[in-house]
Amino acid sequence: MSSAAKRAFLRTCKWLGLFHLASFVYRNRLQILCYHGFRLVDENRFRSSLFMDGRAFAERLAWLRRHGFRVLSLEEGLRRLKDRKLQRKSVVITVDDGFYGFLDVAVPLLREFGYPCTVYVTSYYVLHQSPIFRLAIQYAFWKSSRESLSVGDLIPQLPGRHAVQGPSAQEFMWQVIDYAERELSELQRVELARQILARLNVGYQYMCDRRFLGLLNADEIKRLVALGFDVQLHTHRHRLPNEAGEVEREILDNREVLEPLAGKDLRHLCYPSGIWNQEQWRSLTALGIQSATTCEPGLNGQDTPLLALRRFLDREDFSPIEFEAELYGLKELLRSVKGRSGISSVNQVEAPDAR
């Protein structure tokens, strides 16, 4: 079904009253919204699944208010869900990763509407304060008008000239990223990024100055906390292996950076890139993790495991009728009719990584 046909179908469902029917059916369910970065330059055109323009975000917040949705903090939402005191149209807003654009673009809007928000912060780049390497390289390949690139003097394993545009460019790009994340230190990755971006005629220093592919620093996280925003865990290196020792390392390293800034114990987690496995739950429980959000769509009820909370990953190119269908529960009703598969790990969002 084409996008236009889907939108026409949803408008028909709304005209038939199915949106309000779904809202009544799922009146005791909690909707958790998920966002990532916010546009500072042109990131939303580069990666619409990760970055949203501030005007689009403001329209979402205005829609929630106009339609009578109650925006709760994560703690309150989960407490009301547990105590069976959840009111109809209850929503929690979460933001992943901790991009600088959240503070610059989203925070003023959230404060204007008086809406609480949980931001899950991955902490490696909080410490290093360089543009996220893999995103910087991906952005440069997307932005550049160059047709080919030679990096043999920088990466001997990749001699010759390689396409920057077209299908083969993606394979080459990921070879560069994989090599750097596997073999190089952070300082070496920064230097490699500088040289590659210079050859692609993309300004690395401009990227640093505008901070449009970088994360919040420690002082900025403190400022968020002082403004009343909830900072929570997203692992240190934006990965969560299955091995108990590695799970512990990621959570403890993340807490070591964030808890002094948040001024409290951190007990809520967002799985990096939505990748998770029930094998991790024993380790997470032992570490005192009380809830963990996935990237799986759907509403949360009494039967939803707290370590597998579902979320709606909103994005700028979703039409208003698609957003409305998700918030009123019509999409959940359709998923229920089609039959939901069992809980499984997914990878819906490609996001920052660090080594």
- pLDDT single digits (tens) 73-104: 999 999 999 999 999 999 999 999 999 999 99
CA dist., res. 273 & res. 278, Å (int): 16
pLDDT for the residue numbered 337: 86
Give me the residues paired with residue 3 across strands.
none
Cα distances (Å, whole numbers) of residue 80 to 25, 29, 176, 332: 18, 10, 47, 20
Encoded amino acid at 236, one letter = H
CB 85: neighbour CB atoms within 10 A?
A: 11
Give me the residues paired with residue 91 across strands.
31, 71
3-state secondary structure of 240: coil
DSSP assignment letter at 291: E
Q: Are 258 and 123 in contact (CB under 8 A)?
A: yes
Percent of the chain having pLDDT more than 70? 95
Outline where DSSP puts E strands in 155-240: 161-163, 230-233
CA dist., res. 180 & res. 148, Å (int): 19
- Does the structure show a pLDDT above 80 at 140? yes
Rounded to 5 degrees, what are φ and ψ at 154? Answer: -95, -35
Q: How confident is the model at residue 336 (pLDDT cuts 50, 70, 90)?
A: confident
pLDDT for the residue numbered 340: 53
CA dist., res. 132 & res. 130, Å (int): 6
Q: Are 230 and 94 in contact (CB under 8 A)?
A: no
Tell me the whole-structure pTM to 2 decimals.
0.93
Span 202-261, pLDDT tens digits: 999 999 999 999 999 999 999 999 999 999 999 999 999 999 999 999 999 999 999 999
pLDDT for the residue numbered 222: 98
- The pairs formed by 339-348 with CB atoms below 8 angstroms and a separation of 24 or more are 340/298, 343/278, 343/296, 343/305, 343/308, 345/274, 345/275, 345/276, 345/277, 346/274, 346/275, 346/294, 346/295, 346/296, 347/273, 347/274, 347/275, 347/295, 348/273, 348/274, 348/295, 348/296, 348/313
CA dist., res. 305 & res. 245, Å (int): 23
Question: What does the block give as tokens for 206?
Answer: 């401009």
3-state secondary structure of 338: helix
CA dist., res. 15 & res. 330, Å (int): 12
pLDDT for the residue numbered 342: 44
pLDDT for the residue numbered 355: 42
- Between the two ends of the chain, the Cα-to-Cα distance in Å is 41
CA dist., res. 218 & res. 257, Å (int): 8
CA dist., res. 178 & res. 119, Å (int): 28
**Which helix H or strand E contains 221, and what residues bound it?**
helix 218-226
Span 41-77, pLDDT tens digits: 999 999 999 999 999 999 999 999 999 999 999 999 9
CA dist., res. 216 & res. 231, Å (int): 12
CA dist., res. 146 & res. 164, Å (int): 7
What totals of helices (H) and strands (E) does the chain contain, helices first? 17, 12
Least confident of 169-178, 289-298, 340-349: 340-349
Per-residue pLDDT, averaged over 294-302, amounts to 95
The pLDDT mean for the chain works out to: 93
